[in-house]
Structure 1
């Protein structure tokens, strides 16, 4: 879909490189500018004492890209980036605004070089306001500052961290969508645009329904324990063999009867204590206890069949090990084979990008690059003389 689109990625860690990986999967030519020493995520497993050739965390966000090492702290390095931008369609960065301005790599500077450039800035908090230059990480900007961390925890329990790069990759999706929208506009008008994505704003959108309630009513309900749910039949229940099932009730009164039949308690269908949403809310603890007892009479396999027979909405609560074996994950294209960085033609399973384009090649276009693997190739594409290229290497501007 994005074949022929040239992306210059000047970014490290996960959120912005994740957006670049999505664009690469969709066909864009992505050149990753790395600092001397490389993107710190290359060291993810070495940091915890494991040294492996394939780094599934780095590879996930950088497969199919080219790598060039440039020391952008030096004027010659900054000039090289500007040279790369001349023919680019997209410039993607998560460098803080102040640093970009000081090095002449901010939007206005690069727009003057290439008016059609789509310039995506991905930051912690956006490009304006008192925190525009504050460092941003997903556990801080996406999870904590937005209120997600407090709202997710049931009242009275300790706070907990979100999992690795959860907020980063949610923001990767929003940045990739914004870039694609701006590319459509640039193709129509010949003019590029600044695209501003942030962990903070994406987190607020991800929490949007609750945030909308807060903004409208000036309050929002706290997260409740299982026995305190206002809609107790939308809940989690454990089966006889220790598996958990997420049960979801639809609006209105259509699901109470089917749920009762599924757990073998038809006698409760017309019980005035439970046969309306208002009554179930009043007796919510008792409702959950009854359903707990009902689910505990059946194994996961048996309960699954009974819920399906009643056309109820439900899902197993799975571990990632179970997800990796889930036939639906494969059928949905959510797991793809990524070429190994070993260069021996082998592949390994990895998460797919978030959108499928049936009939199109929407998967990894190659392995993640080794550090500086394509430096000479990229410099050659800039029509620099052989002497100029060798001087850049000799002076350690590139590697």
Structure 2
């Protein structure tokens, strides 16, 4: 991990992926992140297990919780809340995505915590924001950030169901942007000594990710929905199937790249074809060009095309599987994928949070904590002795 947040203490009362991902990013940057989990079962994402992964690490939990310490407090009990308040008194950041009724019941609203620590950065994630009819509604990534924002609509083919996300795009984007907002608030605190309340919402993440089509619609431009491969607006910004059924993605948006691309295809006749002589012609005759490129890409296997296009002047990409990404030399040499060490288990590889400091890769990371693994350790750091811990365990206020 990095050291840019070294010395920063983060207390997290959050579940699932959105706000816990912010805690994970801060941990990647060097913060000490203490995850406070409910007494009964902990974070709900611990129990969202993919079929066939019983007994293995849980991606739903790991993806947002590596590098943290876990304690379990009963925040419905006064004794449990008092332990949280002890931690808040010396904390720098508090993270939560609990709904307003739960925050009020547990005494973790901004006023509750800022009066105990006026310099605290209180960071909150919601589904739909703080105002309006949906302010108290719960949210999840796909419906809240993907579907409501227009992303699902724009990806659906006519008369087809909108596609599901391939991963938690709204949650993870929301987490890293919330971490960035926390960093900005900490910077202001360094200058002014002033704490802050920082908010993010899944719906807001979605509207940000959809900035271009929302802007286009707002100024009266027609929206361009998703399309079948043969109906692409630009033949050179399209995907093409190889002989062995894999896909190559082209994004040749610069006109001067056309001759070099044709040379790599070994089809000089395309340069002489008057239909494709310039960008206007390639647009007007895009369907004919797509048909020609479909035939060309179908003559060679995926590996062959990857090798041939490696020297292409323009931008392209192989459509890789997750397994291929984990062995991709470009991802590995840059540290975009890194090893995560597992206590009493085998390490695994994972994508890292998207920032690097001092031209260094993040290095080896630490897996997510076991449930309540650090309760006694963290509370001893706050000043409790063995007899006090024993009494709190007996009362069921901690686990």
Q: Scaled by the length of structure 1, what TM-score is found?
A: 0.92
Shift of 1:110: 1.3
C-alpha change, 1:363 and 1:193, in structure 2 (3 Å) is: farther
1:165 to 168, 171, 177: 168
C-alpha change, 1:234 and 1:25, in structure 2 (3 Å) is: same
Q: Is 1:279 equivalent to 2:277 in the alignment?
A: no
Partner of 2:298: 296
Partner of 1:66: 69
Alignment of structure 1 residues 1-399 onto 2, 5 Å? 1-36=4-39, 37-45=41-49, 48=51, 50-52=53-55, 54-217=57-220, 219-251=222-254, 253-342=255-344, 346-358=346-358, 362-363=362-363, 365-384=365-384, 386-399=386-399
User: Deviation digits for residues 265-317 of structure 1, max 9, x if unmatched?
Assistant: 32232433222333222222111001111222333344334434441211101
Aligned length: 395
* C-alpha contact 1:143 1:167 (8 A) present in aligned 2: yes
**Bigger Cα displacement from structure 2, 275-284 vs 374-383:** 275-284
Which secondary structure state, in structure 2, belongs to the residue aligned with residue 398 of structure 1?
A: coil
C-alpha distance in 1, partners of 2:290/2:54?
A: 48
Which secondary structure state, in structure 1, belongs to the residue aligned with residue 139 of structure 2?
A: coil
C-alpha change, 1:56 and 1:306, in structure 2 (3 Å) is: closer
User: Deviation digits for residues 243-263 of structure 1, max 9, x if unmatched?
Assistant: 311111124x21332333322
- CA RMSD of superposed structures (Å): 2.1
C-alpha change, 1:247 and 1:136, in structure 2 (3 Å) is: same
Shift of 1:53: 5.4
C-alpha distance in 1, partners of 2:163/2:247?
A: 21
Which secondary structure state, in structure 2, belongs to the residue aligned with residue 371 of structure 1?
A: coil
**Bigger Cα displacement from structure 2, 209-218 vs 68-77:** 209-218
C-alpha change, 1:347 and 1:310, in structure 2 (3 Å) is: closer
Shift of 1:218: 5.6
User: Deviation digits for residues 190-242 of structure 1, max 9, x if unmatched?
Assistant: 11111111111111111222222122226411112111112121111122333
Unaligned runs of 5+ residues in structure 2 are none
C-alpha distance in 2, partners of 1:385/1:334?
A: 42
Shift of 1:77: 2.1
C-alpha distance in 1, partners of 2:92/2:278?
A: 57
User: Deviation digits for residues 109-131 of structure 1, max 9, x if unmatched?
Assistant: 21111111111101111222221
C-alpha distance in 2, partners of 1:372/1:107?
A: 25
C-alpha change, 1:360 and 1:316, in structure 2 (3 Å) is: closer
Which secondary structure state, in structure 2, belongs to the residue aligned with residue 212 of structure 1?
A: helix
C-alpha distance in 1, partners of 2:79/2:278?
A: 72
Shift of 1:186: 1.1
C-alpha distance in 2, partners of 1:369/1:129?
A: 37
* C-alpha contact 2:141 2:171 (8 A) present in aligned 1: yes
C-alpha change, 1:288 and 1:50, in structure 2 (3 Å) is: closer
User: Deviation digits for residues 363-384 of structure 1, max 9, x if unmatched?
Assistant: 4553322211211122222223
C-alpha change, 1:193 and 1:225, in structure 2 (3 Å) is: same
C-alpha distance in 2, partners of 1:385/1:302?
A: 66
* C-alpha contact 2:15 2:43 (8 A) present in aligned 1: yes
**Bigger Cα displacement from structure 2, 206-215 vs 362-371:** 362-371
C-alpha distance in 2, partners of 1:134/1:276?
A: 53
* C-alpha contact 1:260 1:266 (8 A) present in aligned 2: yes
Which secondary structure state, in structure 1, belongs to the residue aligned with residue 84 of structure 2?
A: helix
